[in-house]
């Protein structure tokens, strides 16, 4: 399953630890992922006994997903986060808010989350967002990768009013697999295990930030 494409061990570690603290039964749910791609679709984790929908506002990505996931029991649809359609038990976003909030940062991100919860989440539903965090050494790498395109990297407490969180990472910051292929993936895995050690001693400025929100009745 292609849940994560880059730093996959680190992102999955955050995802799994976040799920452990969500006290709901992940069965017979209508689950949608916003901004899914053919390379990374987190919602597939729940494909057993659930109604899974992968959504994107990129027509080319939709075509690629329909080819890659043609043998999976799921739906692939067009849906724009600014005019989002439908009501869901679970909404998932992975590395989406940083691209949408390049200029306005966390103010816009919190507004997007609040609107999705109000209009698109069923009562007692859960919104999960996994986002890129800003490392303490960010000034040294600000001219590389997504940073040079003004992607917003979140501080640990930028997102507000959440019901639970789990953050992780010190070295797991770059998408080395994208740049270096197989070797990059191997290096990412090594950095993940180093981060597991660092995590015992240092938790400020995590590079992956997970939050979840529950819609109260």
Given this model, what pLDDT does residue 178 score?
A: 73
Q: What Å distances lie between residue 164 and 32, 35, 148, 161, 217, CA to CA?
A: 20, 22, 31, 9, 18
Q: Which residue has the tokens 């994107």?
A: 56
Element (H, E) at 166: strand 164-168
Q: Which CATH architecture has domain 8-214?
A: 3-Layer(aba) Sandwich (3.40)
Q: What is the pLDDT of residues 65-116, one digit of tens each?
A: 999 999 999 999 999 999 999 999 999 999 999 999 998 999 999 999 999 9
Q: What is the pLDDT of residues 112-165, one digit of tens each?
A: 999 999 999 999 999 999 999 999 988 777 766 666 678 999 999 999 999 999
Q: Would you say 29 and 48 are in contact if contact means Cβ atoms under 8 Å apart?
A: no
Domain edges within the chain: 8-214
Report if pTM > 0.85: yes
Which residue from 117, 79, 82, 115 is spatially nearest to 100, judged by alpha carbons? 82
Q: Would you say 109 and 127 are in contact if contact means Cβ atoms under 8 Å apart?
A: no
| C-alpha triplet 167, 50, 114: angle, nearest 5° | 45
């Amino acid at each position: 399953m292609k849940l994560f494409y880059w730093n996959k061990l680190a992102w999955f570690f955050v995802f799994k630890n976040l799920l452990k603290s969500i006290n709901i039964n992940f069965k017979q749910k209508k689950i949608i992922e916003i901004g899914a791609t053919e390379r990374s679709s987190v919602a597939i984790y729940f494909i057993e006994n659930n109604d899974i929908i992968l959504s994107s506002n990129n027509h080319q990505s939709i075509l690629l997903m329909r080819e890659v996931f043609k043998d999976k029991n799921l739906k692939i649809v067009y849906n724009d986060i600014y005019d989002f359609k439908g009501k869901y038990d679970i909404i998932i976003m992975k590395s989406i808010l940083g691209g949408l909030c390049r200029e306005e940062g966390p103010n816009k991100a919190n507004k997007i989350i609040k609107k999705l919860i109000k209009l698109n989440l069923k009562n007692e539903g859960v919104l999960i967002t996994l986002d890129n965090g800003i490392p303490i050494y960010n000034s040294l790498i600000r001219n590389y990768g997504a940073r040079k395109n003004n992607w917003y990297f979140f501080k640990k407490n930028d997102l507000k009013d959440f019901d639970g969180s789990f953050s992780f990472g010190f070295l797991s910051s770059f998408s080395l697999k994208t740049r270096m292929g197989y070797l990059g993936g191997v290096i990412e895995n090594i950095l993940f295990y180093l981060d597991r050690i660092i995590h015992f001693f240092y938790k400020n400025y995590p590079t992956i930030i997970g939050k979840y929100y529950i819609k109260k009745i």
